[in-house]
């Protein structure tokens, strides 16, 4: 990656982009002109085909097909059909992934199922500073299930906090704020050595970095459809249950679509065989159609090349920012080398207004309290010239002090 080092010029960046075999994928997204979009880790951009697909589903399937489309257009099979597509991105078998509900709800379902199956192991162990919904859902369950406790410890103490009372080790593979990644296989092994199950949150991993749930021995996983999978705002999430566990675990949300025979309309719940027992209610078909557009683009790409490019973009951004913004108050948070996601974070004491000023310059990243500027680098639609532009804009905003304009300090509802 000599060409992406500290000296990255606009010309060098353009040359790298011109030689990039993934370059054509950029045209499959509707990115507004002039914007450098570095927040695809929070909300992926609009896939161009999603517009036609949604119109088709609305007009032909909903409009003309009406209720018939549940069978004729295969609506009822969307959770398993799309699940099989996600499975290819996370190293799972087709019958191990469902697209359903939100990540938060899926966390609830899998945590409760795991705890219920091992009543002598009532502890959920998770990382202090994990994404809030992961901790909150665990805390909510602890209020609901007598005896259940949530144990949160620092990253380095997780392995030593495993004991015979831990039923589930709940970890987010790529940390949302720092971008640091766990060694999934090693942490899963540590959980198994103590008789616990490992539940992985892949919200910042699926579509961003290689994930091999099967090879890592992972038991359970959840993840998000609207980040790196580009499924649209509020896209359904996904869940994974290793095949060996599917018969043993039961969803606490015994909705009718998880029933063995939903259209028998029986009075008594009986879970479906296999993964379908983790369905709850009616799938959101329009949201599913948008998510499928995002998945199909991702599945067309050479994923080794894609993930390698995302890492190269992260490296190039770190080098360019360090070369241009020395002494301007930034501190790298993301690991410089070693396992990490497709995102780069810098700490800055005035991170919020700095990010607002940067967004005003057309470079869209986000801010995570208390002081983190976060930049996502999905290789599917970004290039090295975007890196160059982002680093230049950041330098300009910091060096000019333009971020001190009071307009940039008013907090929006979503940061
Ligand atoms: C984004 C994210 C979620 C989102 O959960 P929702 O239920 O979709 O709001 C969950 N976990 C992690 C780690 C995330 O980054």
Domain boundaries along the sequence of the chain:
10-47+303-409, 74-300
Ligand 1 atom with the shortest distance to the CA of 204: 15
- Tell which one of 39, 176, 234 to mutate to probe ligand 1, the residue whose CB is within 8 A of the most ligand atoms: 176
> HEC profile for the chain?
CHHHCCCCCHHHHHHHHHCCCCHHHHHHEECCCCCEECCCCCCCCEEHHHHHHHHHHHHHHHHHCHHHHHHHCCHHHHHHHHHHHHHHHHCCCHHHEEECCCHHHHHHHHHHHHHHHCCCCCEEEEECCCCHHHHHHHHHHHHHCCCCEEEEECHHHHHHHCCCCEEEEEEECECCCCCEECCHHHHHHHHHHCCCEEEEECCCCCCCCCCCHHHHCCCEEEECCCCCCCCCCCCCCEEEECHHHCCCCCCCCCCHHHECCHHHCCCCCCECCHHHHHCCCCCCHHHHHHHHHHHHHHHHCCHHHHHHHHHHHHHHHHHHHHHHCCCCCCEECCCCCCCECCEEEEECCCHHHHHHHHHHCCEECEEECCCEEEEECCCCCCCHHHHHHHHHHHHHHHHHCHHHCHHHHCCCCCC
Tens digit of each residue's pLDDT, the chain (415 residues)? 444 455 799 999 999 999 999 999 999 999 999 999 999 999 999 999 999 999 999 999 999 999 999 999 999 999 999 999 999 999 999 999 999 999 999 999 999 999 999 999 999 999 999 999 999 999 999 999 999 999 999 999 999 999 999 999 999 999 999 999 999 999 999 999 999 999 999 999 999 999 999 999 999 999 999 999 999 999 999 999 999 999 999 999 999 999 999 999 999 999 999 999 999 999 999 999 999 999 999 999 999 999 999 999 999 999 999 999 999 999 999 999 989 999 999 999 999 999 999 999 999 999 999 999 999 999 999 999 999 999 999 999 999 999 999 999 988 888 8
What is this structure's pTM? 0.97
Q: How far is the CA of 224 from the centre of ligand 1 (A)?
A: 6
Q: Which CATH number is associated with domain 74-300? A: 3.40.640.10
Catalytic annotation present for 276 = no
**Is the fold of 10-47+303-409 the same as that of 74-300?**
no
Catalytic member of 101, 134, 201, 366: 201
Catalytic annotation present for 227 = yes
Residues with CB under 6 A from ligand 1: 102-104, 131, 133-134, 172, 176, 201, 203-204, 224, 237
Q: Which CATH number is associated with domain 10-47+303-409? A: 3.90.1150.10
């Amino acid at each position: 990656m000599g060409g992406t080092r500290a000296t990255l010029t606009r010309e060098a960046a353009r040359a790298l982009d011109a030689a990039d075999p993934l370059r054509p994928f950029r045209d499959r997204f509707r990115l507004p002109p002039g914007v450098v979009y570095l927040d695809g880790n929070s909300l992926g951009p609009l896939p161009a085909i999603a517009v036609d697909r949604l119109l088709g589903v609305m007009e032909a399937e909903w409009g003309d097909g009406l209720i018939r489309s549940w069978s004729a257009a295969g609506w009822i099979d969307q959770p398993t059909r799309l699940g099989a597509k996600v499975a290819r991105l996370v190293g799972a078998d087709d019958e191990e992934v469902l697209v359903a509900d939100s990540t938060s709800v899926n966390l609830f379902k899998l945590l409760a199922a795991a705890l219920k199956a091992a009543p002598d192991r009532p502890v959920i162990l998770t990382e202090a500073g994990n994404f809030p919904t992961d901790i909150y859902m665990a805390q909510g369950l602890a209020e609901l299930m007598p005896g259940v406790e949530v144990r949160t410890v620092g990253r380095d103490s997780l392995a030593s906090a495993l004991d015979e009372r831990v039923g589930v080790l709940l970890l987010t593979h790529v940390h949302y704020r720092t971008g640091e990644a766990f060694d999934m296989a090693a942490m899963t092994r540590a959980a198994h050595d103590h008789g616990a199950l490992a539940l992985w949150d892949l919200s910042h991993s699926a579509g961003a970095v290689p994930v091999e749930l099967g090879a890592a021995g992972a038991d359970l996983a959840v993840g998000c459809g609207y980040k790196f999978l580009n499924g649209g705002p509020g896209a359904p999430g996904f869940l994974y249950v290793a095949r060996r566990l599917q018969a043993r675990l039961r969803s606490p949300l015994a909705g009718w679509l998880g029933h063995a025979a939903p259209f028998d309309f029986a009075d008594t719940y009986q879970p479906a065989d296999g993964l379908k027992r983790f369905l709850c209610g009616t799938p959101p078909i329009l949201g599913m159609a948008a998510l499928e557009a995002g998945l199909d683009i991702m599945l067309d790409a050479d994923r080794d090349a894609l993930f390698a490019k995302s890492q190269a973009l992260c490296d190039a951004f770190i080098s360019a920012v360090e070369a241009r913004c020395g002494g301007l108050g930034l501190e790298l948070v993301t690991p410089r080398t070693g396992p990490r996601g497709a995102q780069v974070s810098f700490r800055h004491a005035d991170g919020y207004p700095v990010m607002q000023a940067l967004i005003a310059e057309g470079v869209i990243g986000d801010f995570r309290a208390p002081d983190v500027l976060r930049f996502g680098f999905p290789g599917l639609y970004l290039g090295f010239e975007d890196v160059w532009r982002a680093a230049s804009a950041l330098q300009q905003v910091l060096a000019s002090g333009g971020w001190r304009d009071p307009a940039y300090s008013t907090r929006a509802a979503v940061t």
